Structure 1
Amino acid sequence: MAQEISLEARVAASIRELRFSFGGVVESFSAEVGKMVSAGEIIGRLKREELTKKRQLKLEGYNKMRATFEQLKKKLEGDDDPDKKYLMDRAQADLNSSVLEVELAQLEFDGAELKCPFPGLVMDDGGIAPGMAISPASFSVKIADLSSIKVQAEVGQEKMSLIKKDQYAEFTPLSLPEAVYKGRIFGFTPGPLDRRSNDFGVWCSLETKDNLLPGMTGALKIYFDR
């Protein structure tokens, strides 16, 4: 029969902070606290009228620069005069700068959308609302990364020597008593969870994370001979 210890445990997940890369006026925002979001879902968008005009202006500037470059290239092609070669080099540099300006304008346009790159649960909406003017990298939205879900159990120091990395474990949440989530121990907290009890935390990664949410409690069984 497998030897085991059973510990009180809680589901945990990393909290990520998402921010708009650029400043502007919020057009729409859908990251309400408690909402589940999918990976790649757009949760906010800035007004893009000015960004659209800026991108178009940079693109027209590039087209003019490209036409000037092609005319100069055709006119000076095959001419080895150092002064004329300098003019070609300068025209090439101006064209390259114009390309970069278009790319930066496109990045700013794309940055007007705030996407969640992982499946998550909104913990804090950052106080963002449509119509607000925000500055770059301000007003962070806090989202629990559901792809990072793991289990933390409390263990007394007298039992810590029994627990090793990669030991097999099973987690059963109180809300899903028929479910058994298989996993492996991967480490301890760097210090006690509670100064009064001096209990440490032990971390367990899970093979599957379906239907688990941060804060769920249950029992973690750690086996010594599996």
Structure 2
Amino acid sequence: MPEKFDGEVKARIIEVRFALSGKISSVSKYNGDSVKKWDLVASLDRKILQTELDQQLADYEKVRADWDGFTKKHPDPQDDNKYTKAEKQATLNASVKQVELVKIRLDQSNLFAPVDGIIMDDSGIVPGLYVTPASSSIKIIDTSSFYFEFEIDQKDIPEFVESKKCKVNIEGMKEEIEGETLPVFSDGKKFLVRINLPKSEGLMLGMTGSCNF
């Protein structure tokens, strides 16, 4: 087995997109920007949804007033109006659910970063652009997931069934990074070995280097 393997720095790429269709009203993060978990990335225009919520709240107030009036007139749950009461209760419950659904959709008009990372591809979104759940995904590099990956020959697979300690040298970085290999795996074409890199400072996707045993 060789004592040195060349490879490159990789990381998990998180892809996020809006759950709703709508027009972009603001963009807070663009390509290359750093994000913290739950940072706002972009927002959709909320005017239509807010109007819908106001309408649902007005409908709820009407249904609630009808329910309160009915229960005051018929306080006995065992009287002949129990079926009418059940119907009005169901109508009230449905109204509450409609309000909750619109509130959820309002929350979904904001797109947040699910991890600490760096915006890799903002899909060119700008205010005024109409997007759908199937379009304009934003890719974020998860900076907590950097790893070094290298390819091995098939004959060397037995050497990497169990973890091995090694030192990773990244070109352009002065300090070596100590780590341990993860079990070898195949992507269907190559046999690959990964080493998690605990320190992300200074690391960038695609950096090349070598792993020394």
Whether these two folds match at TM > 0.5 is: yes
Change (3 A) 1:4 1:71: farther
The match for 2:47 is 49
Find 1:65's aligned residue among 60, 63, 66.
63
Runs of at least 5 residues in structure 2 that lack an aligned partner in the other structure = none
SS in structure 2 at match of 1:39: coil
Identity %: 31
Once the two structures are superposed, the pairs formed by residues 92-131 of structure 1 within 5 Å of their partners are 92-131=89-128
Deviation at 1:143, TM superposition (A): 2.0
Deviation at 1:61, TM superposition (A): 1.8
CA–CA distance in structure 2, aligned partners of residues 100 and 179 of structure 1: 57
The match for 1:217 is 208
CA–CA distance in structure 1, aligned partners of residues 126 and 37 of structure 2: 22
The match for 1:35 is 33
Calculate the TM-score normalised by the size of structure 2: 0.89
Find 2:170's aligned residue among 159, 173, 178.
173
Q: Which amino acid in 1 is paired with 2:65? A: A
Q: Which amino acid in 2 is paired with 1:118? A: V
Per-residue CA deviation, residues 120-160 of structure 1 (Å, 9 max, x unaligned), is: 22222223111112233422112222232222112122222
Aligned-pair Cα RMSD in Å: 2.2
SS in structure 2 at match of 1:87: helix
The match for 2:24 is 26
CA–CA distance in structure 1, aligned partners of residues 123 and 84 of structure 2: 52
SS in structure 2 at match of 1:45: strand
SS in structure 1 at match of 2:31: coil
CA–CA distance in structure 2, aligned partners of residues 79 and 180 of structure 1: 73
CA–CA distance in structure 2, aligned partners of residues 142 and 119 of structure 1: 12
Deviation at 1:209, TM superposition (A): 3.1
- 8 Å CA contact 2:29–2:41 kept in 1: the answer is yes
Q: How many residues align?
A: 213
Runs of at least 5 residues in structure 1 that lack an aligned partner in the other structure = 194-199
